[in-house]
Structure 1
Amino acid sequence: MTVSIRPFDPSKDSGLIHPWVTHPKASYWMMQGASLQDVEREYTAITAHPHHHAFIGLVDGVPSFLMESYDPTELELVGLYDPLPGDVGMHFLVAPTDTPVHGFTRTVITAVMAELFADPATARVVVEPDVANKAVHALNEAVGFVAEREIQKPEKKALLSFCTRADFEAAVAVAA
C-alpha cells in the first residue's frame, strides 16, 4: 500500500468526508448529525486556524482517511496537562468501508505518525481519545503510545496518551 497525505481543501473535501464523520462507526468524532454545511464550516475554521491543520490521506491514490494535527498548548488540551516543547496533538479517522482490509487502519496510523515525526520539531505526539474507544487505544499502543491518565474534557472523558519519536521508531521496528 502506498500512502500519501495532502492538505485538506474545505471546498473540495467537505463533501468527501461528510459521510465519513457522520457514519455510525465515527461516533467518537461527535459529528453524527452534522450537515454538509456544518462540516464545511468546521473544516474551513480548522484550515484557517494557525494552530490546527487538516489533511486527507490517500491509500494507493484513493482518499481513505482524515488527519488533524494541532498545537496542544493552544487548543484541545490547554490546562489539562503539562506540555513539553515539541508536543503535537493528533486526530485521525479512517473512511468507513463495507470491505475491511486486515491491517489497513494500522497502516494508516503508522503513516500518520511518520508524517508527524517527519517534522524535526515534533518530539512527542499527544492524543486524547474517548476512554470508551478501546479499538483506538489498541492501535495507539501498537505504534508506541503510552497511556498516562484519564482527563475530563468538556465533551468527553479522554485517555491522555503520549508517543515519543523513540517509542514510535521502536514500535515500528518490532512490527516490521
Structure 2
Amino acid sequence: MTFTVRPLDPSPDFAGETSVSDCELVHGWVTHPKAAFWLMQNAKLQDVEREYMAIAAHEHHDAFIGLSDGIPVFLMERYDPAHVELQGLYDAEPGDVGMHFLVAPTDTPVHGFTLEVITSVMETLFADPATRRVVVEPDVRNRAVHALNDAVGFEIAARVEKPEKDAYLSFCTREQFLNSRGAAARGVTR
C-alpha cells in the first residue's frame, strides 16, 4: 500500500480532496471513541481549528494529512521535542524528531493497515537525512500503540509525567527502524 502526505490546511474554507475542511475531517477523527488517547474526545470543531491553526503557526510543529489513493486516512504530526511536548523532560539530541499519528476510524478495518500507516510515517520522517531518531511519548495505558511502536523499532527509555498523562518516552533510530523492516520481511516478530 502506498501513502502520500500533504500539509494539513487548518483554514475553515479549505476542502482539499473532500467536501469538508481538514479540521472538520480531523474533528471527526479525534473525537471518535477509538481516539481516546488523542485527548480531544469533547473537542468542538472550533477547538480543533484553534489547535491546528496554532500548530500551523508554530515554527517547531507541523501537521499532515495522510492519503491512500487520494482519500484522507490518517493524521500525522511532526515536532521538535526540544521545543514541543517534551521540552525539559529529557535531553534532546540533534536530529531528534517527535511524532504523533492517528488513523481515521472506519467501519471496515483492514488487517495490518495501522502498521502500514506507522511504517509510512516513519519512512516519511527518516526521508529527511537530518532525522537521526524519532521520539514518541504515548500514554502508558495505550497498549495498541506500544505494540505498533515495538513493531517498527521503538524502545522505551523512561516513564515520564506530563501534565495530561503518564507516558513512555520511546526512541527509534534509523538503524532500529531499518532492522525492524528487515525482520518483518523475514517474517520474524520482535
TM-score by length of 2: 0.91
Q: Which has the higher contact order (CA 8 A, sep 6+)?
A: 1
| 2:56 equivalent in structure 1 | 47
Query: Percent identity at matched positions?
Result: 69
Partners of 2:83 and 2:115 lie apart in 1 by: 28
SS at match of 1:10: coil
**Residues 76-155 of structure 1: pairs in structure 2 closer than 5 A:** 76-155=85-164
| Residue identity opposite 2:157 in structure 1 | E
| 1:173 equivalent in structure 2 | 182
Q: Which residues of structure 2 form unaligned runs of 5+?
A: 12-20, 186-190
Partners of 1:109 and 1:100 lie apart in 2 by: 15
| Residue identity opposite 2:23 in structure 1 | S
- 2:36 corresponds to 1:27: yes
SS at match of 2:181: helix
TM-score by length of 1: 0.98
- 2:84 corresponds to 1:75: yes
Q: Which residues of structure 1 form unaligned runs of 5+?
A: none
Partners of 1:46 and 1:16 lie apart in 2 by: 16
Partners of 1:83 and 1:40 lie apart in 2 by: 29
Aligned residues: 176
Partners of 1:60 and 1:162 lie apart in 2 by: 30
| 1:10 equivalent in structure 2 | 10
What is the deviation of 1:60?
2.2
What is the deviation of 1:62?
1.0
SS at match of 2:37: helix
CA distances 1:107-133 after superposition (whole Å, capped 9, x unpaired): 000000000000000000000000000
Moved over 3 A (4+): none
SS at match of 1:89: strand
Which segment drifts farther, 6-15 or 64-73? 6-15
